[in-house]
A = this chain, B = another copy of it.
């Protein structure tokens, strides 16, 4: 059992720089659930952490689904009656409905309308829309633009199409000494939005680096998954579902985790799995100051819908800040670089290091002195001056741990019941073990 590592200021500065570079290089890329944008994204991530990339051919059956054809897009524009460019893909990748078919036609405004998408309540936002499993074409634009459109003939041009190809996903894994897995799953299919979803992949990169450096002796395998949302987790589960059912200790979907809103922990379907319990104590200090909400599982959202489908029912929770659907910028062009913060991205990665530390060192303590309290002062575990009015947090944690050290409570539960930070509980536990007051069991 190790003491919780202190990440020094230089390391934090370096992580912050990494986050900045990743944000700026990944943001402008046109991504989708398949295709060259995804591959380019994974290549950039691979520049930071080692990734193993897998391609799964279009047409492959994965659970109830089939891998779709790969999408390509070169350019796109919508030209108005007076020959003015209304929309140009080069301005913003959200302007074309993702997975749109190609089109090149003259069309009246009236007929064009059913191919246009905007949000009246957010007049300066371009919405993000997809049409993966139904062939159609469409443009997304701000409502301000849309209401200025004048009647007449428009030229709709989308140089895009579908072809046999493959779906791309990548895995970065830090190996441990057992076969147990801690999973972090995030997605790389969203084009040109920042919180949803560059925050998840970038936090994953930084967390990988932190765990690699600060938890060099690991029991568990820390597996970071970069997939397209939904079809990616379906694909991964079709191949690794059995492995995860056997070996997954705790899993987390990382999404919308780069803004400055309160954290959100969404429990797994199981509700009180190790994944849920560990996250709850690691974010307890945020919860105490109302900067973290804990939600029960609900079957809408991101890839947890697949991990937590009733057949798999894996211990996979969600770690977010302003969670999907809860903020007005969600799935629009307003979710841009100004909406996220590199400091918060680094903060999230540091919390994940703490989470990993807690998972690594969790155990069921068994007191070697269960009948009455041991004499703490004679062991130098308590001030020799008794009856003091102030309470010392370490002494309190000693008392909590030993009182609950009957082999039925793990350290996470002791942190939960005592309200004491899990790192203090773990560090004190180490001290009690070296004082021969505790033995540790793993269940």
Contacts and interface: CB of A to CB of B under 8 A. Distances in A.
A289 interface: no
B325 A373 contact: no
Given A63-B371, A306-B372, A367-B310, A399 B133 contact: no
A238 B371 CA distance: 9
A65 B331 CA distance: 65
Contacts of A233: 372
Given A65-B372, A378-B133, A308 B403 contact: yes
A159 interface: no
Given A136-B384, A371-B241, A372-B234, A399 B300 contact: yes
A296 B298 CA distance: 28
A23 interface: no
B299 A372 contact: no
A127 B117 CA distance: 68
B130 A385 contact: yes
B386 A132 contact: yes
A98 B386 CA distance: 9
A8 interface: no
A308 B221 CA distance: 39
A332 B390 CA distance: 13
A119 B241 CA distance: 62
Nearest to A371: B311
A131 B234 CA distance: 65
Given A131-B386, A133-B378, A311-B371, 11 more contacts: A63-B369, A64-B372, A64-B374, A97-B385, A129-B386, A134-B384, A299-B400, A300-B391, A306-B372, A308-B403, A310-B367
Query: What 10 A-B pairs come out closest when comparing CB atoms?
Result: A134-B384, A311-B370, A299-B403, A311-B371, A130-B386, A310-B406, A299-B399, A63-B372, A133-B377, A64-B374
